[in-house]
Amino acid sequence: MPFHRERYPPDWPKISREIRARSGGQCGCMGECGLHRTTPGPRRCTERNGEPAKWARGRVVLTVAHLDHNPQNCSPANLRAMCQRCHLRYDAALHAKNASATRARKAATATLPLFSDHA
């Protein structure tokens, strides 16, 4: 999903740093992404910022997820530090919905050629 900076507050970099610091450098996902669910309850993702990823390639980068998917709602209760894997999984349905809307919009504006080479 493209980063629409205009939808975020001007102090987003500071807010993001504070949320990632609040997490202690560890992903804060507790199963919201569909993983880490155990009985009797969810466990916290073990990925840590800057370390080699356990479940993916490369190094872990902590991101900040808006739990309600609204970039304007930057209350601390609505924000959670998540590794990129958990964040992408958490936002997967939103990404799919946006992609579908984009495809529909492009299809609606597509035009047929006025002339054909096969006349």
User: What's the confidence (pLDDT) of residue 22?
Assistant: 97
User: What's the confidence (pLDDT) of residue 43?
Assistant: 86
pLDDT in tens, 88-104: 999 887 767 777 777 87
| Tally of residues, the chain | 119
Mean pLDDT, the chain, whole residue set: 85
More confident residue, 112 or 18: 18
Domain map (residue ranges) of the chain: 26-93
Is the confidence at residue 1, as pLDDT, over 50?
Answer: no
More confident residue, 49 or 94: 49
Categorize the per-residue pLDDT at 10 as very low, low, confident or very high, splitting at 50, 70 and 90. Answer: very high
More confident residue, 33 or 104: 33
Categorize the per-residue pLDDT at 56 as very low, low, confident or very high, splitting at 50, 70 and 90. Answer: confident
User: What's the confidence (pLDDT) of residue 108?
Assistant: 81
Is the confidence at residue 15, as pLDDT, over 90?
Answer: yes
